A and B are shown apart, each in its own frame.
Chain A
Amino acid sequence: DQQVKQNSPSLSVQEGRISILNCDYTNSMFDYFLWYKKYPAEGPTFLISISSIKDKNEDGRFTVFLNKSAKHLSLHIVPSQPGDSAVYFCAASTRPRDDKIIFGKGTRLHILP
């Protein structure tokens, strides 16, 4: 029973273009969502988060959009840079300070020169 789904195992995007990573969830009790980035041989790094009371959160080149009615969120990276090539994990929890975070399987992003 996968509560957080990232249906695209991989994505290739030209450098300078927009990267859009998608995530769907099934648990309507989730109210806090996060994106993590992971390079090989390193642990995941927190990227950006969004609370369910918002529909958009922006931090530099990274923007996360939340559509609660569709139980869908997306991460936009503009413009995409070579250093963005990594695995991106979508994650969710039911409370802002919950100890249990549910991760998706991840999407591998390749930025092409």
Chain B
Amino acid sequence: ETGVTQSPTHLIKTRGQQVTLRCSSQSGHNTVSWYQQALGQGPQFIFQYYREEENGRGNFPPRFSGLQFPNYSSELNVNALELDDSALYLCASSSASQTKSFYEQYFGPGTRLTVT
């Protein structure tokens, strides 16, 4: 069984640029959530996708957007990058068909984004 993978591992971008981060869900999982973890903070919920539709969103501006594909992999896009967007971006997958709660999410190792 393949776990959650994310690419790239590290990324450096310039303020104002756009970035796309990718996530492959664990096999059999149909729900993907994205989190931002700034230095010294806990993960902060950005949004969740379930069967290719946005299923909830945290307090992030519209320049943070996402996609989920038919194979349940996902992308996080951030436009007009700001210095404060520098963080670890975590993707987590889960399966709504499980008898267990959504909360047993399986996290990927994250993408470290640095905006200069």
Residues of A within 8 A of B (CB): 4, 6, 32, 34, 41-46, 49, 89, 91, 93, 96-106
Compute how far the CA of A4 lies from the CA of B45 in the bound complex, rounded to whole angstroms: 13
B74 contacts the other chain (CB 8 A): no
Compute how far the CA of A104 lies from the CA of B33 in the bound complex, rounded to whole angstroms: 17
Per the 8 Å Cβ criterion, residues 17-54 of B in contact with A are 33, 35, 40-45, 48
Is there an interface contact between A4 and B33, defined as CB atoms closer than 8 Å? no
Closest B residue by C-beta to A90:
B42
Instruction: State how many angstroms separate the Cβ of B111 from the closest Cβ of chain A.
Output: 11
Residues of B within 8 A of A (CB): 4, 33, 35, 40-45, 48, 55-56, 58, 90-92, 101-110
Is there an interface contact between A103 and B42, defined as CB atoms closer than 8 Å? yes
Is there an interface contact between B105 and A46, defined as CB atoms closer than 8 Å? yes
Compute how far the CA of A42 lies from the CA of B106 in the bound complex, rounded to whole angstroms: 11
- Which of chain B's residues have a CB closer than 8 A to the CB of A4? 42
Compute how far the CA of A105 lies from the CA of B108 in the bound complex, rounded to whole angstroms: 19
- Which of chain B's residues have a CB closer than 8 A to the CB of A97? 101-102
Is there an interface contact between A100 and B101, defined as CB atoms closer than 8 Å? no
